[in-house]
Structure 1
């Protein structure tokens, strides 16, 4: 299935400048916009970083933002996505009936020592909290001064459950009495989460699950919703105990897009090859084939990461194992009466043991760019060996990204939305 693009946004006309100013400006632009030199057969058809960025941000993202807002408001968690793919919500409902065992063999042996023979942190109570929040309503997860973040809001409302000793320590340091929420994975501004996982601990024994749920629920009604609260073993860590994370990216397709036969797309690519004209369509099925090549492999995704620390830009810290990577067309419906007909979108479903910063967004943008250029199915695999991150496309907008859920049991494809 192929779709036709709208033209890329036109660039503003440049004002005539003096030779000296023009020369310095040209030199600055040369430094800022040096393009990676691809050497494959379709290098002349590949969008530049600017062209890719403009195309991605020209999509009707407000429809996707509204869709995510409706999901968070409904409080169905990951199950809310089932209708997009014609699935039964009951098969994806959050399991709240059983307490999982998050201990490794070495931790199990250590845990056999009774807590009464220990003191301090072994006597504290740890709670696992599953949250749903709308990315468009917050400045990301991580607490930052002067910003409306999810962590800042959650910790503020957990302050009422802090034990007396910690409260006195905070008061002595002239700090607000707040709880400490440890998260499975931080999300950027604009990124929604349907089943984010965080933990909170206290030495108080009188704290009940319902009290925590009620407190967080009052923080930002319809924008931040606690789905489940459960007491877990002290060794539980939302990040380190997790075995996989699942992300969904919803990419709006043109409302006036016309279906193009595969033969017609092939002829367009050949025509573009002769006249050096950038392609005007991409094949959704081709995007899916490109993504499928990543599944079942441990690979270094350093070329697809952004804003990472130098120590985490080389070696094992860049390696991720991709359990599942697919793309498919779906119909996006909204509660807004103006959009009852629905909008065609392309959904990306990615499941891995971990993800690097902005990795999903770069993978989405690069997969679309490569499919449009007519690259082979190994396009993303070939880019793993690139020498510069400019070889990949700029990150797709955060509004399309959603952290679906986090898994603490072995991954099962039965819970995937996009399958053959």
Structure 2
């Protein structure tokens, strides 16, 4: 029995998220059914995180165990030949049998993309959140620095009954602007349900001048989702990278 790791990119627009749901098109179900065709075995695919409906991935990490003599290169070639054009596998490698893409993940990097413009760009409209009002990206960046460190982030979590705790550590948070584009990058040891999109929505409100740049501190102390900004649309969110190396002190 071998344990194989996949690096996956996908356009989440037409998927009902990652996790298999009967009657819906999902990323997990789409990849699994084609892996089963190639290997002639029942496959269970585990991903580093279950992205929601409409969320994209640049480098999602998943793994599955299989008893097959097919080489990684042959599985990769066959899988990409069968997959639809909104999913691509860039890499398949054998990893230790006890590797688990969820349990062994050390850091995750997400990016939220905002376009500042009065009109849609038809070529990028599915991959960004259009905000017509001018945003103060410098103020947004200063506000984002208040996220750094270990905090109880329940103020940015949508209701999720299976949560065990809402304490997470954020290692990096930044706002960068290039032309009409504003990128919100955030890296942490894990994220709550809708946390990144809730933070993005809050930073947009700060950028609009509706709240001061120290609003994040207040929200973390309040621990109530209703006081934070709206959940930003899913189409602007990308899972960029998942890290598995040990964290340095």
Q: Common fold, TM-score beyond 0.5?
A: yes
d(CA) in 2 for partners of 1:372 and 1:319? Answer: 28
Distance 2:169 2:99 in 1: 22
Q: 1-side partners of 2:169 and 2:224: how far apart?
A: 22
Confirm or deny that 1:399 pairs with 2:235. Answer: yes
- Tell me the SS of whatever aligns to 1:384: helix
Q: For residues 44-70 of structure 1, what are the alpha-carbon distances to aligned partners after superposition, in whole Å with 9 as ceiling and x for unaligned?
A: xxxxxxxxxxxxxxxxxxxxxxxxxxx
Deviation at 1:411, TM superposition (A): 6.0
How far the C-alpha of 1:388 sits from its partner, in A, is 2.9
Alignment match, 1:136:
13
| Greater share of residues in helix | 1
> Which residue of the partner structure matches residue 140 of structure 2?
287
Alignment of 1:33-52 (within 5 A): none
| Alignment partner of 1:307 is 2:159 | yes
Larger radius of gyration: 1
Call closer, same or farther: CA 1:186–1:387 in 2, change over 3 Å. Answer: closer
- In structure 2, distance between residues paired with 1:367 and 1:323: 18
Matches within 5 A, 1:40-189: 124-160=1-37, 178-189=42-53
- Provide the C-alpha distance between the structure 2 equivalents of 1:377 and 1:349, rounded to a whole number of angstroms: 17
Distance verdict in 2 for CA 1:387–1:186, change over 3 Å = closer
- Structure 2 spans left out of the alignment, 5+ residues: 120-132
1:383 to 208, 215, 219: 219
Contact 1:153 1:219 in 2 (8 A): no
CA-to-partner distance for each residue in 1:132-190, whole Å, 9 max, x for gaps? 11111322111111111110011101113557xxx5xxxxxxxxxx4110010011111
Residue-by-residue CA offset, 1:246-289 (whole Å, 9 max, x unaligned): 01110111248xxxxxxxxxxxxxxxxxxxxxxx7541100000
Alpha-carbon offset, residue 214 of structure 1 = 2.1
The structure that is strand-richer by fraction is 2
Question: How far is 1:325 from its partner?
Answer: 0.2
Q: Which residue of structure 2 aligns with residue 346 of structure 1?
A: 182
Alpha-carbon distance, 1:372 to partner: 2.6
Q: 2:208 aligns with which of 372, 379, 384?
A: 372
Q: Paired residues, what number?
A: 235
Quote how far apart the aligned CAs of 1:410 are: 4.5
Match of 1:329 in 2: 177
CA contact (8 A) 1:293 1:377 kept: no
**2:115–2:182 CA contact under 8 A, matched in 1:** yes
Asked whether the equivalents of residues 197 and 231 of structure 2 are also in contact (C-alpha less than 8 Å), the reply is: yes
Q: Give the 3-state SS of the residue equivalent to 1:393 in structure 2.
A: coil
Deviation digits for residues 290-318 of structure 1, max 9, x if unmatched? 001222x1111111011311x526xxx21
Please give the per-residue CA displacement for 1:116-145, whole angstroms capped at 9, x wherever unaligned: xxxxxxxx2100111111111322111111
| TM-score scaled by length of structure 1 | 0.53
Q: Deviations over 1:354-402 (max 9, x none)?
A: 0111100000001121343354433112101225311012210001000
Q: Which segments of 5 or more consecutive residues in structure 1 lack a partner in the other structure? A: 1-123, 168-177, 257-279, 332-343, 413-420
Q: 1:312 aligns to what SS in structure 2?
A: coil
Q: Deviations over 1:220-270 (max 9, x none)?
A: 3431110000000011010111110001110111248xxxxxxxxxxxxxx
